[in-house]
Amino acid sequence: MSILVNKKTRLVVQGITGSEGTFHTKQMIEYGTNVVAGVTPGKGGSQYNGNDKDQFTRPIPVFNTVAEAVEKTKADTSVIFVPAAYAAEAIMEAADSGIKLVITITEGIPVSDMVKVYAYIQKRGVRMIGPNCPGIITPGECKIGIMPGFIHLPGRVGLISRSGTLTYEAVQQLTDRGIGQSTCVGIGGDPIIGTRFLDAVKLFNKDKNTDAIIMIGEIGGSAEEEAAEYIKQSVKKPVVGFIAGQTAPPGRRMGHAGAIISGGKGTAAEKMQAMKDAGIYVVESPALLGETMERVLKSRKASKGKRKRVAAKRKPSAARKKPSRRKKSRK
């Protein structure tokens, strides 16, 4: 029904007693996420009910170390709300304690820390989402992160994005049209991230309950091109894509640490071209994500039973015509 997280996920919140950690833990519990533990060094052994502002509906046991939380509660996934200066340590602690999936919400972690963290978790076979991301949600089952739960709808479209609020925008457009989501992953806006477009695309491609994918990239780096290459070769599910920053000037960091065109590389134009070449339905306006996906899904449904054709080189803005000649079925 989803990728990476579902109702069986057992979540530990690192930095649970901080104000951010408390606020979002309350929201996650109310969404139905299986929060089993919290970690704040020095506050272990207590039951945490939230603070005056944000009261939990049920108490969460707090531990001094992630290892103890894993041992006592069988937590398998961690979310990190620890401040930037200590976040690298927190990620490595989770990875060293048997956690298999770490979701790092924290923004502003120094790159030099992340270079080390990345090597550290790779060696231990741990997957990370983020940092500097909204998190991951499988609608109706499990919300890990800071996204507003109510805009989501359970369904069969997978969504991958480098951004926060732009992701919510896309989700809203889908939900408004009655198109539900299997899982939405905010992979984060930093130059070093644990899960890249390619990784997430592979997972969605394998997931039997995901029919189509939305990919929202932005300027900087070449992760979108990398994923597009894979999609061209190996993905039959339709993909709708957008790249933010078509009007961004070169050499300037556009908010996200990773959103910068440097040495003429990482422009929206070249990413969009790579995506178009891979048969992705690229929209020029972010306002068209929802309706394009709706059209793509409808045309798929209409041609169900017929031989599915790869969506190559079809412009999403062009009115959809029935293919004048059906592709040879390769029985």
Partner 1 sequence: MKIHEYQGKEILKKYNVPVPRGQVAFTVDEAVKAAEKIGGSVWVVKAQIHAGGRGKGGGVKLAQSLEEVRERAAEILGMRLITHQTGPEGRIVRRLLIEQGMNIAREMYVGITLDRTNSQNVVMASTEGGVEIEKVAAETPEKILKEAVDPIVGLTQFQARKLCFGLGLTGDAFKNAVKFFLALYKAYEATDASLAEINPLVITQEGHVLALDAKINFDDNALERHPDYAEMRDLEEEDPLEVEASASNLNYIKLDGNVGCMVNGAGLAMATMDIIKLAGGMPANFLDVGGGANATTVEAGFRIILKDPSVKAVLINIFGGIVRCDRVATGVVEAAKNVDVQIPIVIRLAGTNADLAADILNNSGLKFLVAGTLKEAAEKVTSAIAA
- Residue found under tokens 């299986």: 34
Residue among 97 and 161 whose Cβ is closer to partner 1: 161
- Residue found under tokens 């923004």: 107
24 catalytic residue (yes or no) = no
Q: What is the dihedral of CA 47, 52, 55, 58, to 10 degrees?
A: 20
Give the span between the Cα atoms of 260 and 250, in whole angstroms: 7
Query: Per the residue annotation, which of 256, 271, 276, 314 is the catalytic one?
Result: 256
Give the span between the Cα atoms of 24 and 3, in whole angstroms: 22
Give the pair of three-digit tokens for residue 157. 């479209």
Give the pair of three-digit tokens for residue 291. 């309706």
Nearest to 24 by CA among 124, 133, 108: 133
- Residue found under tokens 């599910």: 237
Is residue 314 at the binding interface for partner 1, with CB under 8 A as the rule? no
B/e letters for 101-113, b = 16+ CB within 10 Å, e = fewer, are bbbbbbbebeeeb
Q: What are phi and psi of 136, to 5 degrees?
A: -135, 145
Q: Which of 160, 214, 257, 261 binds partner 1 (CB under 8 A)?
A: 257
Question: What value, to the nearest 5°, has the Cα angle with vertex 313 and ends 268 and 209?
Answer: 85
Q: Which stretch binds partner 1 (CB under 8 A): 47-55, 58-66, 260-268, 322-330?
A: 260-268
Q: Which stretch binds partner 1 (CB under 8 A): 59-67, 240-248, 305-313, 322-330?
A: 240-248
Helix (H) or strand (E) segment spanning residue 72: helix 66-73
Q: How far is the CB of 283 from partner 1 (least distance, A)?
A: 10
Q: Which of 42, 178, 264, 305 binds partner 1 (CB under 8 A)?
A: 264
Q: Which stretch binds partner 1 (CB under 8 A): 49-57, 207-215, 257-265, 296-304?
A: 257-265
Q: What are phi and psi of 101, to 5 degrees?
A: -135, 120
Give the span between the Cα atoms of 38 and 128, in whole angstroms: 18
Is residue 166 at the binding interface for partner 1, with CB under 8 A as the rule? yes
Residue among 49 and 222 whose Cβ is closer to partner 1: 222
Is residue 114 at the binding interface for partner 1, with CB under 8 A as the rule? yes
Site string (47-86) toward partner 1, x via CB under 8 A: -------------------------------------xx-
Q: Under rule CB under 8 A, which residues in 119-138 are in contact with partner 1? A: 119
Q: How far is the CB of 185 from partner 1 (least distance, A)?
A: 14
CB-based contacts of 187, cutoff 8 Å, min separation 6: 129, 130, 133, 160, 161, 162, 193, 195, 196, 197, 200
Give the pair of three-digit tokens for residue 296. 């793509």
Is residue 242 at the binding interface for partner 1, with CB under 8 A as the rule? yes
Is residue 3 at the binding interface for partner 1, with CB under 8 A as the rule? no
Q: Which stretch binds partner 1 (CB under 8 A): 4-12, 89-97, 157-165, 323-331?
A: 157-165
The amino acid occupying position 82 is V
Q: How far is the CB of 118 from partner 1 (least distance, A)?
A: 4
Is residue 219 at the binding interface for partner 1, with CB under 8 A as the rule? yes
Is residue 240 at the binding interface for partner 1, with CB under 8 A as the rule? no
Q: Is the peptide bond before 110 cis (omega within 30 degrees of 0)?
A: no
Give the pair of three-digit tokens for residue 292. 């394009």
Q: Which stretch binds partner 1 (CB under 8 A): 5-13, 184-192, 232-240, 299-307?
A: 184-192
Chain residues binding partner 1 by CB under 8 A are 23, 84-85, 108-112, 114-116, 118-119, 146-148, 150-151, 161-169, 172, 189, 191-192, 216, 218-219, 221-223, 226, 242, 244-249, 251-259, 263-264, 268, 284-288
- Catalytic positions, please? 256
